[in-house]
Amino acid sequence: MLPKKLQNKLETRKEENALRRLGSSNLLVDFSSNDYLGYSQSKDIFKQTHSLMHEENIEANGATGSRLLSGNHPLYKLLESNLCKIHLSEASLVFNSGYTANLGLISSVSQRGDIVLYDELCHASIRDAIGMSHAKSYKFQHNNLKDLQSLLEKYSLESDRTIYVITESVFSMDGDTPDLSGLIKLTKSYGAHCIIDEAHALGVFKFGLVQSLGLQEKVFARIVTFGKAMGCHGAAILGSKDLKTYLVNFSRPFIYTTGLPPHAIASIISAYNYLQLNSNDKALAKVISYFKDQIEANKLSQLFIESSSAIQCAVISGNDRVKRISQKLQEVGFDVKPILSPTVSKGKERLRFCLHTYNSKEEISEVLRLLATFV
C-alpha cells in the first residue's frame, strides 16, 4: 500500500481525469512524436553509425562509468569538436539528456544571491533546475519583453549579482517563438546572461534559431537536444571554454552519472553528418506551411496558437473534452495527443500536433477536416 498522502494525490489525479498512463507504440499516423525529420527511423543514419562503430573498433555495450572516471570514450572528443564547428561555438559539453543538461547548467551556474528570470511557460526541466539552485527566481509573462524589462530594471540595481534570463527558442507545449533578437539585445543591455533552450528548434530550423539569426556569440549558453529532430538521445550545452570547465567541475548531473554508451555517441555524430548534407528542414517547412494553410481552409484559426514550428496546438478547454476529441481522432487512425492540465494551465488544455517530413498532404487535410467536425 502506498502511504496515504501519495494515495490521495493519485485519487485527485483520477478525479481530474488527468491520470498519466504508459501507452504502447501504435501504428497510427504519427502526429505525436518528436521525430520531426524522421531521423529515428533513417536507415542511412543507422548504417553510418554501424560503420563508424566498426571503423573505431567499438564493441562495447556501455560506458562503464562517469565521464570523469572511465566513461569518456574517445568518440566524445570527436562529437564535441564537431558540435563546436557546426554550431559555431567555442566549446560544447555533451550530457545524457536535455533534462539533465538543463538541470546541470542552470542549477550549477546560478549562485546564492543571483537572479534567474524565466519565461512562465518554460519546460519542466528548466523549472526543476531553478528549484535546485540557490538563486532567487522570477517568471516573466510568456514572450513578453516589456514584463522581462521591468524585472531586469528592478533586479539589475545591485551590481554584485548575476542575472540569468532563460527561455526556449520553440516552446514545447505551444510551438511558438519569442522575439529572440529583441530578448537577447534587452538581456545584454542590462548586463544579464541569456540561456536559450533549442530542444525543438534544432533540425527543424537547421542548427537552431539563435544560429540562424547569427546571435550565437551574444548568448551565455544554448542547449541542443538529440532526442527530438536528431532522432537519437542526449544533449549538449554550447558556450565558452570557461563555462565548459566550470560545468565539468561543478555540474552534479554531469559528474555523478554514467556517460552515454559509445553507440549513442556514434549515432549523434551520424545524425549530424546527415543533417549537414541534407535539406530535410526544407521538406519539413513545406509540411508546416501546408498544415497552416489547412487550418485556414477548415476555419480553425481561432483554435490554433500562432506557430511556425513543427508543433501546432489547438486549444480545447477541459481535460474531458480534449481527451474525448483526441480519442475520436485515434479511433480513426490519427495519433494526436491531448495535453492536459496540470501539464498546461487549466482552461488551456490542447491537442498537440507534431509535424514530420513523412506526414502526407492527405493525412493533414483529413485530420484537420475531422477536427473541424469534432469541435
Ligand X SMILES: Cc1ncc(COP(=O)(O)O)c(C=O)c1O
- Give me the 146-175 binding string for ligand X, x by CB under 6 A, dash otherwise: ----------------------x---x---
**82 touches 268 (CB < 8 A):** no
User: ∠ CA(340), CA(138), CA(250), 5° rounding?
Assistant: 95
Taking the complex as a whole, how short is the minimal distance between the CB of residue 289 and ligand X, in angstroms? 23
User: Residue count at the site for ligand X (CB under 6 A)?
Assistant: 14
Helix (H) or strand (E) holding 134: none
The two most distant CA atoms of the chain are separated, in Å, by: 59
Helix (H) or strand (E) holding 77: helix 74-87
Alpha-carbon gap, residue 17 to 33, rounded angstroms: 23
**Residue closer to ligand X, measured from CB, 168 or 335:** 168
Using alpha carbons, list the distances in angstroms from residue 62 to 24, 73, 180: 26, 10, 39
**Residue closer to ligand X, measured from CB, 38 or 231:** 231
Q: Out of 123, 206, 263, 350, which residue is the one contacting ligand X (CB under 6 A)? A: 123
- Give me the 62-101 binding string for ligand X, x by CB under 6 A, dash otherwise: -----------------------------------xxx--
Taking the complex as a whole, how short is the minimal distance between the CB of residue 172 and ligand X, in angstroms? 3
Interface with ligand X in residues 189-248 (CB under 6 A): 197, 199-200, 225, 227, 235
Taking the complex as a whole, how short is the minimal distance between the CB of residue 311 and ligand X, in angstroms? 9
Q: Out of 40, 102, 143, 319, which residue is the one contacting ligand X (CB under 6 A)? A: 102
Q: What is the CA radius of gyration of the chain?
A: 21
**Residue closer to ligand X, measured from CB, 235 or 340:** 235
Q: Residues near 129 by Cβ (< 8 Å), separated by ≥ 6?
A: 102, 103, 104, 105, 106, 107
Give me the residues that bind ligand X (CB under 6 A), please: 97-99, 102, 123, 125, 168, 172, 197, 199-200, 225, 227, 235
